[in-house]
Structure 1
C-alpha cells in the first residue's frame, strides 16, 4: 500500500515510529523515526525514546505536520498537471 496510516497519524499530530521498509520512508519523510521491520529491538528503542522525550515527540509532530502538506489534493493535482503537460510536449 501507499502508507496512508502514516499520513493520517501525522495529520492528527501523532508522532510516528514506523518501519523503514517499503514506501514508508518516502511517505513519512523526515517526520518519523524509522528502523527496519526485522529489527524489533531498535523499533522498541525508538518507541521508548518517543514516549520519554518531550522534545522528540514535539519535533516528530512538527515535522509530520509539515510533511502532510505534500499530500494535500491541490499539490497532488498540480503535480499531475505538470507531469502530463511535460509528457504531452
Structure 2
C-alpha cells in the first residue's frame, strides 16, 4: 500500500543512515522498523539500577558539608586569591 508519512527530521536521518549502513532501501528500513515496533509487544520494564557506595574518608575540622555549595564557593575563592597573589 502506498501512503504518505510525515516524520521528524532526526528520525528520517537515522533511518537513512541505517539504510546506507545496511545497504537496504529506505522503504525497506521503514517497513522493518515499523514491523519490529508493532510486534515488540509491551515494552520491557527497566532493570533497577543500584550504585555501590564507597567510603570517602572523614571531613576536615571546620567544614560543614550540609552547605556543600558554600564550601565549594569558599574553596574556589581561596584558589582565585592564591592565583592573584602569585601575580603580584
TM-score (norm 2): 0.25
Higher share of residues assigned strand? 1
Greater relative contact order (Cα 8 A, min sep 6): structure 1 or 2? 1
TM-score (norm 1): 0.25
Higher share of residues assigned helix? 1
Q: Which has the larger radius of gyration?
A: 2
